[in-house]
Structure 1
Amino acid sequence: MYAFPDWRAAPADDVPAALADWLGETGSLTERLVGLGRGFAVVVLAQHTAQAWPDECQALGLPANATVQLREVALTLDGVPYVFARSLCRQDSPVWTPVLARGSRSLGLTLFADSGMLRHPLQFITGQPAQLALLAQAQQACWPDLSGPLAARRSLFGAVNDALLVHEVFHPDLVTVSPP
């Protein structure tokens, strides 16, 4: 059975401050990661049409079980994945389908290049991968040996009737590679 994540307006109180800072980043996550001076890369894990999860359909204003364009990637530093990203849009979106079909180029470079891009407020979850599909997907794809909770955020970009939904799950060790 699918459990709806309890998306919140702020990171949970038990998220370490350094990780909450990453979660709350309102600028380009790509630019911030590149700014660390480590070997940044985008590794495509999946890119295809898929059935959206119930909360994704709700966020995008789609009917239950809608088919969407989906792209999942790992954002890596020196070959180590620190962020799992899951981005999706309507299957027939004339705006976002070509944006998702970008291979290993970062979405952030496109999303934040347009100063007029509408970004809806960030939402946050924290939990055990065994409890939430997004966190389980991230753990399976990037960190199969990781135990413990994961923190994630999501945001809609663009118009409500044709938006791109971007989820990002953060490895807790990201704070060890970033300056204080």
Structure 2
Amino acid sequence: MSHESPQAAAAVWLPFSQLATDVDQHTLGWLFDEGSLTRRLTHLSHDHFSVTPLYEGWQALRADECLALGIAVGAEGWVREVYLRGHGQPWVFARSVASRVALERGGLDLETLGSRSLGELLFCDQAFIRHPIEVCTYPTAWLPTEMACAGLWGRRSRFARNGLDLLVAEVFLPTLWQAAKEETR
């Protein structure tokens, strides 16, 4: 988890329609792919995919997360931060959040996921509806210290099921772009 104040950073989350056109097609293909990122990473890694939990627990959610979830700024929620790995390398930093109120009434126990992929759970449950993907240059202050690097692309989308909203953000690390480039050779 980042050790800098999460509220000090800011991000401008944009839908595809508002994104500047200077982003290359390969990057856009990853950012706006509406399929399961877990499945795509599993394929790219030739089944050498794993999830490493970094942090799981209750905390005040960031202002941008509260806004996206339609809850009061500063509301408490469950936060799960993980690395999605290919061949043991961290390829994606993922942060998933949900408000305490929504989890208590929504019947999803995020505390028991461990090293399983939340994305796989969301894509296997047909009741979840995925809202449009938004992207940004992810604030360095929000990244784990060992991966803090400026200019990384992040994306997020809200998944909803019967009053339960989960916000899933995924940040594409340089090691992923290298692996994807090698795959296309």
Q: Same fold (TM over 0.5)?
A: yes
Cα distance in 1 for residues equivalent to 2:9 and 2:153: 16
| Sequence identity percentage | 36
1:34 corresponds in structure 2 to 42
Give the 3 Å change call, closer, same or farther, for CA 137–143 of structure 1 in structure 2: same
The question of 1:18 aligning with 2:21 is answered no
Match of 1:119 in 2: 130
Contact 2:157–2:167 (8 Å) recurs in 1: yes
- Greater Cα shift, 169-178 or 62-71: 169-178
1:72 is matched with which residue: 64, 81, 84? Answer: 81
- Is 1:82 matched with 2:84? no
Counterpart Cα distance in 2 of 1:19 and 1:115: 28
Q: Following TM superposition, by how much is the alpha carbon of 1:42 offset from its aligned partner in structure 2, in angstroms?
A: 0.2
User: How far apart are 1:12 and its partner, in Å?
Assistant: 4.4
Deviation at 1:54, TM superposition (A): 0.5
Q: Residue 149 in 1 paired to residue 151 in 2? A: yes
Structure 1 residues 3-41: Cα deviation after superposition (integer angstroms, max 9, x where no partner): 442111125434333222111110100000001205211
Distance 2:86 2:119 in 1: 16
Gapped regions of structure 2 (runs ≥ 5): 1-6
Cα distance, 1:102 vs structure 2: 0.5
Give the corresponding residue for 2:170: 168
Q: Deviations over 1:55-107 (max 9, x none)?
A: 11111111111110110000011111110000011114133650353100001
Say if 1:15 and 1:100 are closer, same or farther in 2 by CA, change over 3 A: farther
Q: CA deviation at 1:174?
A: 1.5
Question: Aligned partners of 1:73 and 1:139: how far apart in 2?
Answer: 10
Measure the CA separation in 1 of the matches of 2:131 and 2:111: 19
Alignment of 1:31-70 (within 5 A): 31-36=39-44, 37=46, 39-70=48-79
Cα pair 2:58 2:77 within 8 Å, conserved: yes
2:3 maps to what in 1? Answer: none
Q: Going by fraction, where is helix more abundant, 1 or 2?
A: 2
